[in-house]
């Protein structure tokens, strides 16, 4: 029984070390954060879902355009975090 616990503890430590190594090798976040300016100030106190309803009023083909490879445009604050 004692030997089994030692093996399980060693396995757990190896797993944690592997997980930590994996997380430390993750790339840095490159997505731009939502700017702290007068245009976006009203959206900081709102919840994410409520704020996202207003994004496409400015961020559209006639206003601030998206890059061609931009992903889905309905979950803005999933990637563009509020500071």
Tokens of 59: 């961020």
Condensed to tens digits (0 to 9), the pLDDT of residues 45-63 reads: 999 889 989 998 898 888 8
Place of tokens 């939502």: 34
Q: How far apart are CA 53 and CA 81, in angstroms?
A: 15
Give 68's contacts (C-beta < 8 A, 6+ positions apart): none
Condensed to tens digits (0 to 9), the pLDDT of residues 16-33 reads: 999 999 999 999 888 889
CATH number listed for the domain at residues 2-79: 1.10.1130.20
Domain ranges (residues) in the chain: 2-79
> Region 61-79: what's the mean pLDDT?
83
Q: Quick one: how many helices (H) and strands (E) in the chain?
A: 3, 0
């Amino acid at each position: 029984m004692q030997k089994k616990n030692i093996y399980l503890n060693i396995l757990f430590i190896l797993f944690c070390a592997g997980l930590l190594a994996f997380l430390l090798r993750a790339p840095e976040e490159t997505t731009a954060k939502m700017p702290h300016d007068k245009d976006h100030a009203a959206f900081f106190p709102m919840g994410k879902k409520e704020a996202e309803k207003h994004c496409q009023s400015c961020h559209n083909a006639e206003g601030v355009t998206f890059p061609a490879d931009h992903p889905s445009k309905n979950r803005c604050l999933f990637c563009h975090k509020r500071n």
